């Protein structure tokens, strides 16, 4: 999911301009935190551009894309066939509110540009589910726009937030400190906050050991 609409190719692949722009900067941060091997679960994979870019760059990891939108699931599957990579599993439907999630264990969980276009309950479900599937020491990696200490970090984010709330009162930019506090109650410790281009952030948590 992203702030911008997607374009559809004749083979069914969706392409989001925002994903093309941010996949490089996100990858550079991921390289610092992802393990050398293991399963990386992506929540709300969207078009499939991200998972294919990351799987190409980090072939020692096994990538598991998911989404709740059937159009996105179709696009992801076509991207996988087009890429011909052996380290990307077929996508499956995953609702963050489900308990339990349809996967038992992952070494890292990624989620980009989702929590601001979903109700707050989806953030709670994401944090709870990630804590359940992550191995001790595993990483939860979030990316997107946030408020900091209750304030917007840029005028454009304030405009974006107002537009989201107009479209759905349950949507909107989340306060990073509130997200971190809720993550902590689920055994996910904040490791680092990385400022990103276009007034976004990468927010990295680690699953504490039981």
In the chain, where the domains are located: 7-207
> Is the confidence at residue 168, as pLDDT, over 50?
yes
What pLDDT, on the 0 to 100 scale, is given for residue 1?
36
> Is the confidence at residue 3, as pLDDT, over 70?
no
The DSSP line for 140-170 is EEEEE--EETTEESSHHHHHHHHHHHHH-TT
Residues 6+ apart with CB under 8 A from 126: 43, 96, 111, 114, 115
- Band the pLDDT of 34: cuts 50, 70, 90: very high
- Band the pLDDT of 5: cuts 50, 70, 90: low
> Is the confidence at residue 4, as pLDDT, over 70?
no
Neighbours of 3 (CB within 10 A): 18
- Cα 109 to Cα 63, 81, 123, 127, 134: the distances in Å are 10, 23, 13, 10, 7
User: 7-207 adopts what CATH topology?
Assistant: Rossmann fold (3.40.50)
Tens of pLDDT, residues 131-150: 999 999 999 999 999 999 99
What pLDDT, on the 0 to 100 scale, is given for residue 10?
67
Instruction: Look up the pTM and report it.
Output: 0.94
- Cα 131 to Cα 51, 100, 107, 143: the distances in Å are 21, 11, 11, 17
Q: Which residue from 131, 97, 99 is spatially nearest to 114, judged by alpha carbons?
A: 97
Percent of the chain with pLDDT over 70: 96
């Amino acid at each position: 999911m992203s702030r911008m609409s997607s374009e559809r190719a004749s083979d069914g692949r969706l392409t989001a301009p925002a994903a093309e722009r941010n996949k490089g900067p996100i990858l550079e941060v991921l390289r610092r935190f992802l393990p050398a091997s293991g399963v990386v679960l992506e929540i709300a994979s969207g078009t499939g551009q991200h998972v294919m870019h990351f799987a190409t760059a980090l072939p020692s990891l096994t990538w598991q894309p998911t989404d709740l939108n059937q159009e996105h699931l179709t696009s992801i599957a076509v991207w996988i066939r087009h890429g011909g990579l052996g380290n990307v599993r077929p996508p499956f439907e995953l609702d963050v509110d489900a308990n339990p999630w349809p996967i038992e264990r992952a070494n890292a969980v990624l989620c980009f540009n989702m929590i601001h276009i979903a109700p707050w309950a989806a953030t709670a479900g994401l944090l709870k589910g990630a804590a359940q599937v992550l191995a001790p020491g595993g990483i939860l990696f979030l990316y997107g726009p946030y408020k900091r200490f209750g304030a917007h970090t840029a005028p454009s984010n304030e405009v974006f937030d107002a537009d989201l709330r107009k479209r759905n009162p349950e949507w909107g930019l989340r306060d990073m400190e509130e997200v971190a506090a809720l993550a902590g109650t689920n055994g996910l410790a904040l490791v680092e906050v990385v400022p990103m281009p276009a007034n976004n952030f990468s927010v990295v948590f680690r699953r504490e050991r039981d």
